[in-house]
Amino acid sequence: MTQDPLTLYKLIVLYMLEKVTFPMTTAQISDFILAREYTNFLTLQQVLNEITDAHLISAQSIGNRTHLMLTDEGRETLHFFQNRISPAIKEDIDTYFRENEFTIRNEVSILADYYKSTSGEYEAHLVAKDRGIKLVDLTLSVPTEEMAAGICDNWQQKNQEIYQYLTQMLF
């Protein structure tokens, strides 16, 4: 029995989201699927739209990223049809997560964005999460956009050090 390629791509996305305990971004899923040349960008966007519209995944925009989570309906669908994903593809996904889970988790757990406030200052909003629980949620007001952008960049690189420092100093 031949399988519709779109169905396979949908199942791959659902399988990926089931393997993690945190949301993944569309960019992370795209990187995996496109790097292995399972499909092209436009087809993948169609797949993501269709499974979102079917409520198999939920999508939430945070900053400039879209975070995807498997819904109960998606989990049920995957369990019913996951035998249609070849063992080789499952092994590719499992290997990808074994090798990259920390990086993937960090990308979606560390958020930084800045904006111009009504006072004319710039505010850098910094968040660190672990398993969906906010560890740090901090907003810093600074006079220039460059400073706000620098704070956001540094938060991405130094969030663990900053969190450790804050907990050591406050406890």
pLDDT tens-place string over residues 70-124: 999 999 999 999 899 999 999 999 999 988 887 787 777 788 888 999 999 999 9
Residues 29 and 103 in one domain: yes
Same domain, 49 and 73: yes
Query: Please, what sign has the CA dihedral across residues 34, 37, 40, 45?
Result: negative
Domains held by the chain: number: 2
My answer on whether 20 and 61 are in the same domain is: yes
Q: Of the residues 108, 133, 154, which one is the last residue of a structural domain?
A: 108
pLDDT of residue 1: 42
Pair (94, 19) in one structural domain: yes
- In this predicted structure, what is the pLDDT of residue 144? 94
Do residue 67 and residue 149 come from a single domain? no
3-class secondary-structure state, position 20: coil
Residue 74: predicted pLDDT? 95
Do 149 and 138 have their domain in common?
yes
pLDDT tens track for 123-145: 999 988 876 678 889 999 999 99
- Structural domain that includes position 129: 109-170
pTM, entire model: 0.71
Give the bridge partners for 60, in sequence order: 67
Q: Are 68 and 57 in contact (CB under 8 A)?
A: yes
pLDDT digits (tens, 9 = 90+) for 13-55: 999 999 988 888 898 999 999 999 999 999 999 999 999 999 9
- Which of 84, 108, 132 marks a domain boundary? 108
Burial of 111 (0-12, 13-18, 19+ CB in 10 A): buried
Give the three-state DSSP class for 46: helix
